[in-house]
Amino acid sequence: MPRIVDHEERRAEVAAAVWRIVSRDGLEAATVRRVAAETGMSTSVVSHYFAGKDDLLRLAFRIVVDRGRDRAIADSAGGGRTRALLVTALPVDTERRAEARVWFAFLGLAVSRPDLARDQRRAYTAWRRAVAAALRAEGLPEGRDAQTEAAGLIALVDGLTVQATFAPDRMTAARQLALLDERLAELGVG
């Protein structure tokens, strides 16, 4: 009986290897050859899962989005879902700083690539809706629109990420959280 290859499992294995390389050695280090070495697969098998640099970046972006979402779900188990959905994207530790670098590299490419821009838009729409739903559940002040405030909160988180990535000594984890919490307090949530 021929061995049946579980493509989903292999894809996950490739994705995990991509992530290990990216978080350890940076995005530049994640090549088909390195992923092959890391997984023990041949380069031709790895190439089946991503064809080149762009595919890899897309995969890495996907991983970042999934990790963020999983973390938010886990962290909001005890309440404070709005805050959890936002904090998850802040680069407050080494792992999340690696995620932020992937996110920037992806955005930089996506500005001239409509297909990647679509991925970006989809991820943001899902994020905004989740934050808006959480805001509604936690109760917004009269006259505030949940979708608009969600967009504003996500904007703040993204901008803090820019500063934390390029000036981590100045935009420390404590400062990121203080600025986010100040804003959440003004909206009466968090």
Please give the residue ranges that form the binding site for its own copies (CB under 8 A).
Answer: 26-28, 101, 104-112, 117, 120-121, 124-125, 148, 151-152, 154-160, 162-163, 165-167, 170-171, 175, 178-179, 182-183, 186
Dihedral angle at the C-alpha atoms of 125, 130, 135, 137, nearest 10 degrees? 140
Q: How many CA atoms lie within 13 A of 14 on its CB side?
A: 28
CB of 48 to its own copies, least distance (A): 27
Comparison of 13 and 128: residue with beta carbon closer to its own copies: 128
User: Is 46 or 150 the residue whose CB approaches its own copies more closely?
Assistant: 150
Q: In the complex, what is the shortest distance from the CB of residue 163 to its own copies, in angstroms, rounded to a whole number?
A: 6
What are the φ and ψ backbone dihedral angles of 39, each rounded to 5 degrees? -95, -15
Q: What's the rounded Cα separation, in Å, for the pair 98 and 178?
A: 22
Q: What is the per-residue DSSP string for 4-32?
A: PP-HHHHHHHHHHHHHHHHHHH-GGG--H
Phi-psi region of 140 (alpha: psi -120 to 50; beta: other; left: phi over 0): beta
Least gap, CB of 149 to its own copies (angstroms): 9
Looking at the Cβ atoms of 33 and 121, the one nearer to its own copies is: 121
Smaller CB separation from its own copies, 90 or 134: 90
Least distance between its own copies and beta carbon 28 (Å): 5
Distance between CA atoms of residues 156 and 146, nearest Å: 15
Is the Cβ of residue 13 or residue 149 nearer to its own copies in the bound state? 149
Give me the least distance between CB of 190 and its own copies, in Å please: 15
The two structure tokens encoding residue 13: 């294995």
